[in-house]
């Protein structure tokens, strides 16, 4: 495996740079998508009393941890989205739980559906990025 020639940076700096790239450096359409993805996933904090929100927070936390570790070594490469693979079992589980959510929990149910649709769309984008990586696009494509 080839290591990036960039100097190694700390974990917290890599997290801040990742979010900075997504929210400030991406092209406008990608930046809007990135902000939406972050906002929908962060909204789990509004429903943290529900197990689904707790699982979403854990999955996002693990994905950010893994992305920061990849970014430290390889910078902003097209494999960062593979960390979202954790979402697949989570999304399947959440879809299966939708029918058990009481109708009185309308805001929670709306967030959960939005999370499922948003993260499923993100997985499609991630698959495209991984394919591009396999086909040879291996250099970092954004820099802080």
What ranges do the domains of the chain cover? 11-134
Longest dimension (CA), the chain: 54
Alpha-carbon span 100 to 70, nearest angstrom: 37
The residue count for the chain: 144
At residue 52, the pLDDT reads 97
Q: Tell me the pLDDT tens digit for each residue of 112-126.
A: 999 999 999 999 998
**Between the CA of residue 137 and those of 2, 36, 49, 54, what are the distances in Å?**
14, 26, 42, 35
Enter the tokens of residue 44.
């789990």
Q: How confident is the model at residue 7 (pLDDT cuts 50, 70, 90)?
A: low
Q: Cα dihedral angle (47, 51, 52, 58), rounded to 10 degrees?
A: 90
Q: How confident is the model at residue 2 (pLDDT cuts 50, 70, 90)?
A: very low
Pick from 94, 128, 126: nearest CA to 111: 94
79-105 per-residue burial string, b: 16 or more CB within 10 A, e: under 16: bbbbbbebbeebbeebeeeeeebeeee
At residue 96, the pLDDT reads 96
Alpha-carbon span 39 to 10, nearest angstrom: 25
**Between the CA of residue 21 and those of 12, 54, 77, 102, what are the distances in Å?**
14, 26, 12, 39
Please report, in angstroms and rounded to a whole number, the separation of the first and last CA atoms in the chain: 23
Is the pLDDT at 81 greater than 50, yes or no? Answer: yes
């Amino acid at each position: 495996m080839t290591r990036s020639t960039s100097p190694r940076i700390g974990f917290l700096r890599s997290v801040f740079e990742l979010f900075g790239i997504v929210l400030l450096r991406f092209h406008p359409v990608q930046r809007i998508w990135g902000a939406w993805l972050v906002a929908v996933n962060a909204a789990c904090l509004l429903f943290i009393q529900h197990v689904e929100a707790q699982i979403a927070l854990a999955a996002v936390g693990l994905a950010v941890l893994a992305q920061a570790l990849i970014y430290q070594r390889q910078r902003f490469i097209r494999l960062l989205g593979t960390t979202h693979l954790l979402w697949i079992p989570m999304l399947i589980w959440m879809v299966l739980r939708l029918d058990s959510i009481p109708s009185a929990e309308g805001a929670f149910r709306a967030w959960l559906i939005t999370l499922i649709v948003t993260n499923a769309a993100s997985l499609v984008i991630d698959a495209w990025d991984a394919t591009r990586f396999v086909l040879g696009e291996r250099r970092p494509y954004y820099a802080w």
